[in-house]
Amino acid sequence: MWSRRVVLLRAPRAPLSLRFDLRSFTVGLACLATAVAVGAWSLTVGEMALPLRDVAAALVGRSDDGVARIVMEWRMPRVLLAALGGWALALSGAVFQTVTRNPLGSPDVIGFNTGAYTGALLGMLLVGGGHLTTVAGALLGGTLTGLAVYVLALRRGLNGYRLVVVGIGISSLLASVNGYLMITVRVEEALPAAVWGAGSLATATWADVVPVLVAVAVLTPVLMLVNRDTQLTALGDDAARSRGVDTDRLRPVLLATGVALTAAVTAVAGPIAFVALVAPQLAVRLTRTPALPLLPTAFLGASLLVLSDLVARTVIAPAQLPVGVVTVTVGGGYLAWLLISQARKS
């Protein structure tokens, strides 16, 4: 059993106090600092390299119009979308892994990303239209996929293992639908859909940042409010109920929150895989906590996606890779290691 160092903050004559784990706080702070540092570095990188002092001047409104446009209109939305998107995906992964009590229970494995991609493809290829149609299709596809997985897994009581298995089956079915859609349309229509399907932040704008920011700002406090009950559900439904947790009411709230976080990111950036899978498990190993820590997980997810996007922008410069290619490469190796380690334990 790990010994924990806990700090208790209490204001004089105040009925409330703040209690936090020192190691989790340190890990979370380090991850947040990493995300900020890598994000600042990303603002200097591009076809026109900028010194950090010019970036700082643009951030405070003291640069010329050209530098300000590069930093504030082209690069800053991409960095912020990477940070907020990593935050949202990591929290979504923490939710699903807690609900399923399975380290493989992330939204990309269960199939919500694939469902969002299906909705976006239908919007782009069949309905037609622009960015708004794609966003609406992805949101609708991810939400309907989450609802379908939940309903099918609910039979004879919701079980985490059944949720993962049903999700994998739904994901495989939707992947075949996506493949069929891609081979039945013209090449000029399929190419942008394929690039979007790889997960890309290259065309990020402030309009893309807003829905993800709203989702993070609204849903993160919700998860923190129910965090104690959520951690108790990791012990099992019977143990949670014995401690006063209404699991039948809590679980739909958690699933809806996780789906909404994933759908918000997928709608504007495409299905970015493996961040939701990797970030919670790395966070729990770094913090050495028995349950998935929310804020360290969020900060780690932000730093992972910001760093992955920087690699995607620079690895074959001046060309750029979709960020999903980088996360798949990292996450695929982690998934292989996770499966091997789980097989050795069994």
Cα 109 to Cα 112, 216, 332: the distances in Å are 8, 21, 12
Chain position carrying tokens 């995300």? 35
Q: Which segment of 29-38, 210-219, 286-295, 328-337 scores lowest on mean pLDDT?
A: 328-337
Backbone angles phi, psi at 272, to 5 degrees: -90, 115
Measured between alpha carbons, how far is 251 from 233 in angstroms, rounded to an integer?
A: 9
pLDDT at 223: 92
Structure-derived torsion over alpha carbons of residues 300, 267, 159, 289, reported in degrees to the nearest 10:
10
Measured between alpha carbons, how far is 333 from 5 in angstroms, rounded to an integer?
A: 33
In this predicted model, what pLDDT tens digit does every residue of 167-210 receive, in sequence order? 888 888 998 988 888 888 777 777 777 777 888 898 889 999 99
337 pLDDT above the threshold of 80 = no
Quote the tokens at residue 228.
């104690």
Q: Any idea what the Cα angle at residue 289 is, between residues 266 and 235, rounded to 5°?
A: 85
| Crossing angle of the two packed helices 160-183 and 76-100, in degrees rounded to 10 | 140
Contact 10, 18 (CB under 8 A): yes
Measured between alpha carbons, how far is 300 from 89 in angstroms, rounded to an integer?
A: 11
State pTM to two decimals.
0.87
Domain ranges of the chain: 17-345
In 10 A of CB 250, how many CB atoms? 17
In this predicted model, what pLDDT tens digit does every residue of 198-247 receive, in sequence order? 888 988 899 999 989 999 999 999 999 888 888 877 777 777 777 777 77
pLDDT at 1: 38
Domain 17-345 has CATH 1.10.10.10: no
Phi-psi region of 271 (alpha: psi -120 to 50; beta: other; left: phi over 0): beta
Contact 328, 273 (CB under 8 A): yes
In this predicted model, what pLDDT tens digit does every residue of 99-135 receive, in sequence order? 888 887 788 878 888 888 888 888 877 776 567 787 7
The more confidently predicted of residues 20 and 72 is 72
Which of 248, 314, 302, 255 is CA-nearest to residue 275?
302
